[in-house]
Amino acid sequence: MNVRTRVAPSPTGDPHVGTAYVALVNYCFAKKHGGQFVLRIEDTDRQRSTPESERAILDSLHWLGLAWDEGPDVGGPHGPYRQSERSDIYREYVRVLLETGHAFKCFCTPQRLEAMREAQRAAKQPPRYDGSCLRLTNAEIERAEAANEPYVVRMKVPEGGVCVVDDLRRGTIEIEWNTVDMQVLMKSDGMPTYHLANVVDDHLMEITHVIRGEEWVSSAPKHMLLYRYFGWEPPKLMHLPLLRNPDKSKLSKRKNPTSILFYRAMGYLPEALLNFLGLLVSSSPEGEEVVDLGTLVQRFDIEHISLGGPVFDVQKLDWLNGRYLREQLDTAGFLQRVLAWGFEPSRVERIASLARPRVERLSDLGPLLAFLFAGRLPVTAEQLRDGKLDGEQLRRSFALAMWRFDAVRDWRVAEIERVLKSVAELLGQKLRDVTRPFYVAMTGSPTSIPLYDAMELLGRDIVRERLRFALDLLGRPNAVEEKAWKALQAASASPPEIA
């Protein structure tokens, strides 16, 4: 069998280290068997998908050194590899399911669905479509269509019995059909949902092994059913455990940076990060921990994948990265990495022009600019609080800025300024009073090079980490506060213009 695997990220945010982990397993499995590794962009959620996110995902995976045989940037015989360019294909398959009676049109209004869910909540039943439109007569359907009523297409689901899913590592998983929802396959705008597009593409792209995160286990019955409806042979499935924090909680950006871009900005070498992820996939039998991608492929074995949830231990990553810097590079190689990391000519020029008016001696440069070449700064809560805002306003300003920065697509001075101005406005405070603690959090000092330039130069990932650290020092918002602050920001009259 010609093995074909894929990684299928949705471009809805920063490139996650978990995506790199899944990509690496798929890469190793395909290459171990002399097969192909495909990259597919699953951008059916048009509201949340952005080209910036797609670019960042592709760049990050390339940076790590993972190369795919087929994908949106390299092409291939099964393209297009971006789901938003495949709508006609999905529409055709929806038509087949409707014709064969495996799917049905659902004209339920959002209000009716909400009332149904409300009743289910009250009766302590799991939320699930109640099948109302399954009972429509042909005449009723024709009338609704003639009146141009919007509809979605849902898949039918067996009423009783269990669905058996075979997982290469977990064995047989049984899920009762009556817990599986009549999934929407096509939205009212004619776009497919993830489930339909995923199955159709895996089939058409001849994927033989679907290796993905365990959060998709509960979707597997729907997918298996779709394969059966279409009369296609399903791929083999394997669900990988999610990466965990050392305390075993799920790795999430509320607790730790999860973006590959952050690790790049912090000066981890791509081969060290890839090696680190590889050790999470399978530990070294001989105890040798510095291994390249070729070796990872060679010793890859599905049986070695632990289901316990690999721990993303940053201390271990630091140790490994240190070994790469000391042992795998000579001085010239080291210098080359240093220059590429923080001293790219246009960046240096910009820094010089910002620093020049602020120094009396060249030896002032070190203290003035150290924050640009540092990880976490030795900032204290007292330094942050030393200003006009009270404790709550301070925490709110950091939290609001952090959330708003996440939505900024073009990380530049103008957008950064717009966000901070909107935060000051929302809090009803002077901009100067709001920005002062940001200076401290970003640069370690209340005076430095201009704040917005400093933030642009630091990059969004380091900025987010410094804001998160500041919030840790001051007290992270609890769930109630977070809800209230987010509601307030949603209701604010002039949200920042985020392009």
Residue nearest to ligand GLU (CB): 212
Nearer to ligand GLU, 212 or 264 (CB): 212
Under 8 Å between Cβ of 40 and 205: yes
Nearer to ligand GLU, 195 or 466 (CB): 195
Nearer to ligand GLU, 16 or 468 (CB): 16
Nearer to ligand GLU, 9 or 477 (CB): 9
Q: How far is the CB of 280 from ligand GLU (least distance, A)?
A: 18
Sign of torsion over alpha carbons 2, 240, 270, 456:
positive
Which conformational region is residue 487 in: left (phi greater than 0), alpha (psi within -120 to 50 degrees), or beta?
alpha
Crossing angle of helices 345-355 and 451-458, rounded to 10°: 160
Distance CA 126, CA 119 (A): 10
Integer angstrom CA distances of residue 437 from 427, 433, 446? 14, 8, 7
Closest by CA to 382, choosing from 441, 301, 315, 320, is 441
The contact set with ligand GLU (CB under 6 A) reads 8-10, 42, 198, 212, 216
Q: How far is the CB of 23 from ligand GLU (least distance, A)?
A: 10
Token output for 425: 């406005």
Instruction: Report DSSP letters for 311-347, one per residue.
Output: B--HHHHHHHHHHIIIII--HHHHHHHHHHHH--HHH
Distance CA 8, CA 259 (A): 17
Nearer to ligand GLU, 44 or 275 (CB): 44
Q: What is the DSSP letter of 358?
A: G
Integer angstrom CA distances of residue 466 from 260, 320, 400? 16, 24, 14
Under 8 Å between Cβ of 9 and 42: yes
Nearer to ligand GLU, 3 or 136 (CB): 3
Spot the catalytic one: 253, 316, 421, 486.
253
Distance CA 122, CA 100 (A): 36
Catalytic site includes residue 316: no
Q: How far is the CB of 42 from ligand GLU (least distance, A)?
A: 4
Q: How far is the CB of 216 from ligand GLU (least distance, A)?
A: 5
Distance CA 218, CA 179 (A): 10
Token output for 224: 């298996």
Sign of torsion over alpha carbons 317, 323, 326, 330:
negative
3-class DSSP state of 206? coil
Nearer to ligand GLU, 21 or 312 (CB): 21
> Which residues carry out catalysis?
253
